[in-house]
């Protein structure tokens, strides 16, 4: 893939979201459970919800941008 295309999309800023999603999902899961297995299981599920929500918001903003 062309590296200039990736630079034009500005996707390098999305890498800041990865540690934030991991930390938020782990902390949220740790406030609900004490067992490590349950924390990790709930953190993965919560991270999936966060990423899905971010993808929906991104898609809505992208559509609004195209229509305006």
* Predicted TM-score (pTM) of this structure: 0.77
Measured in Å, how far apart are the chain's first and last C-alpha atoms? 29
| Cβ-proximal residues to 44 (8 Å cutoff; 6+ apart), any chain | 25
Q: Are the C-beta atoms of 42 and 32 separated by less than 8 Å?
A: yes
Amino acid 5: pLDDT:
54
Q: What is the pLDDT of residue 23?
A: 96
- Using the structure block, give the residue that is written with the tokens 């067992």: 35
Domain layout of the chain by residue ranges: 3-67
Residues 9-63 have pLDDT tens digits of 566 778 888 999 999 999 999 999 999 999 999 999 999 999 999 999 988 988 8
Please report the pLDDT score of residue 15 as a whole number. Answer: 82
């Amino acid at each position: 893939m062309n590296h200039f295309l990736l630079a034009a999309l500005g996707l390098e800023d999305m890498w800041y979201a990865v540690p934030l999603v991991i930390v938020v999902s782990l902390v949220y899961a740790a406030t609900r459970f004490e067992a490590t297995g349950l924390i990790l299981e709930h953190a993965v599920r919560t991270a999936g919800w966060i990423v899905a929500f971010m993808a929906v918001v991104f898609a809505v903003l992208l559509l609004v941008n195209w229509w305006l």
